[in-house]
Structure 1
Amino acid sequence: MGTALITGAAKRIGRKVALNLAAQGYDVVISYNKSEAEAQKLALEIAKKFSVKCEIFQCDLCDWKQAKNLAQFVRKKFPDWNLLINNASIFNKSKFLTGTDSDLLDNLNLHFLSPLILAKEFAKNPAKNSHIINMLDKNITRFDTSYFHYLLSKKFLAELTKMLAVEIAPEVRVNAVAPGFVLNSIDEKNPSNETRNLIKKIPLQKKGEIKNIWQAIEFLLKDKFVNGQILFIDGGASLNHAG
């Protein structure tokens, strides 16, 4: 299979993806920033369940300079590195006029510059069947200024996905997944009014699950003629700018 680097993989979507890739036979590198305990726990779980190698690497990708160190570590340790999943993310409200310099720089570095640098290092000497998958947000079709810096940086990453799909093909394919409402930890039997209202705005009238995100990634891995595409896994919410 090769080796997969998943950034921000200690928890949530990244954790699920790392486990599933290990189950498929990928060696896995998990990058994390502050979630050391969760990363170590995940690495131990992978080691116990699967006959693959697993490494963890601490870096803060809000500092884009650390992205190159991460890429060099992976390439040196795993010459067959052939899958990069740019998953690391922050999600904070910030407005254009009232947001801080840190709001701008942290989002641009984490969601755009670090993925760009990782992609560049990845594509310099690509292994066979190399593939980059960027994790976006279904709201890239909207202009929600409540999360101005977050959404702007995700829009940049969406455009980077398309440009790289042309620039570094045929050696490397580049695609993306744009999740919708999947991460909220709710009581399914007693959802809050806010949750009910969000679900009402989704055409399929339900929230997604992390497994739906993995199924999209699995499709992209299997169909090697897909390149430069963004899969919206959102129940149709992006079509009516709802959710």
Structure 2
Amino acid sequence: MSHPTPRVILVTGAARRIGAAIARALHAQGDRLVLHCRGSRADADSLAAELNSARPDSARVLCADLLDVDALPALARDAHAQWGRLDALVNNASSYFATPLTELTPAQFDDLLGTNLRAPLFLSKACAPLLAEGGSIVNILDTQARRPFAGFSAYLAAKSALWTLTEALALELAPRLRVNGVAPGHMVWADQPQFTPERQAQEVARIPMQRLGGPDEIAHAVRFVLSPEARYMTGAVVPVDGGLRLG
């Protein structure tokens, strides 16, 4: 659904994979995108060029290290300054890797907690006063955050905290802003796979739908949660996991 005045939406970690799919889905309905990246500038620039070729002046790139909390207010201000408005924030950027307890380091913990909890919290804080009336924040969670499995304690703890943060901010920012979450299951395997091929096959077997989901299915859920059709939803977490959480 297109909007009379194009909305401006900041998507973190937008250069590749699920973030890029979210950006494309929102762009297809007429939104303008501020594409955040950290180290994937070439991919972000390529995506911006693709979107701008389809509709001129509809996508711009901003780089920032989300682990640097002091940089987040500037990212929010710069996102707003691109077109003089900001309508939504999608907290998508996320570190993800295994941390068996015997090998967990403080640096790994800081990375996982920083990208999956601290950055979404402080970027939401920075963006909230800049978001237009009726604006939204969407946090990308993990359907397994409430059903932990071994070897990923730091990541799952951070995502579980982000789940609670989603509900807490929905209370604090209502009624001016809505805050919701989308919780993927197994959508795409990481670039550096955390599971052996045998374990991947076991994980797919756990999914009632018997397949990985794919980035577009997360993107479609985000698009719905940001749409006028979801205007009475806040503090909700939409699972997009093929039923994985039920196993």
- TM-score of the superposition, structure 2-length normalised? 0.89
Three-state SS of the structure 2 residue aligned to 1:55 is strand
* 1:3-42 alignment runs, 5 A limit: 3-42=8-47
The CA distance in 1 between the partners of 2:237 and 2:49, in whole Å, is: 33
Three-state SS of the structure 2 residue aligned to 1:10 is coil
* 1:45-64 alignment runs, 5 A limit: 45-64=50-69
What amino acid does structure 2 have at the position aligned with 1:29?
Answer: V
Percent identical across equivalent pairs? Answer: 32
Q: After alignment, is 152-161 or 136-145 more displaced? A: 136-145
* 1:1-243 alignment runs, 5 A limit: 1-184=6-189, 192-222=197-227, 223-240=230-247
Q: After alignment, is 137-146 or 227-236 more displaced? A: 137-146
What amino acid does structure 2 have at the position aligned with 1:237?
Answer: L
The CA distance in 2 between the partners of 1:224 and 1:51, in whole Å, is: 29
The CA distance in 1 between the partners of 2:105 and 2:239, in whole Å, is: 30
Distance apart, 1:95 and its partner CA: 3.3
Give the gaps of 5 or more residues in structure 1. Answer: 186-191
Give the gaps of 5 or more residues in structure 2. Answer: 1-5, 191-196
The CA distance in 1 between the partners of 2:10 and 2:225, in whole Å, is: 16
Question: Does the CA contact (< 8 Å) of 1:181 and 1:207 recur in 2?
Answer: yes
Question: Does the CA contact (< 8 Å) of 2:145 and 2:159 recur in 1?
Answer: yes
Q: After alignment, is 141-150 or 36-45 more displaced? A: 141-150
What amino acid does structure 2 have at the position aligned with 1:235?
Answer: G
Distance apart, 1:237 and its partner CA: 0.8
Question: Does the CA contact (< 8 Å) of 1:64 and 1:110 recur in 2?
Answer: no
Three-state SS of the structure 2 residue aligned to 1:217 is helix
Distance 1:145 1:64, change over 3 A: farther
Distance 1:100 1:4, change over 3 A: same
Distance 1:159 1:224, change over 3 A: same
- Which aligned runs of 4 or more in structure 1 are off by greater than 4 angstroms? none
Query: 1:32-90: CA deviations, max 9, x gaps?
Result: 11111101100110110124421111111122222222112112333320110000011
What amino acid does structure 2 have at the position aligned with 1:239?
Answer: L
Question: Does the CA contact (< 8 Å) of 1:68 and 1:121 recur in 2?
Answer: yes
What amino acid does structure 1 have at the position aligned with 2:246?
Answer: L
Three-state SS of the structure 2 residue aligned to 1:227 is coil
What amino acid does structure 1 have at the position aligned with 2:178?
Answer: R
Cα RMSD after superposing both structures:
1.8
Question: Does the CA contact (< 8 Å) of 2:80 and 2:130 recur in 1?
Answer: no
Question: Does the CA contact (< 8 Å) of 1:131 and 1:174 recur in 2?
Answer: yes
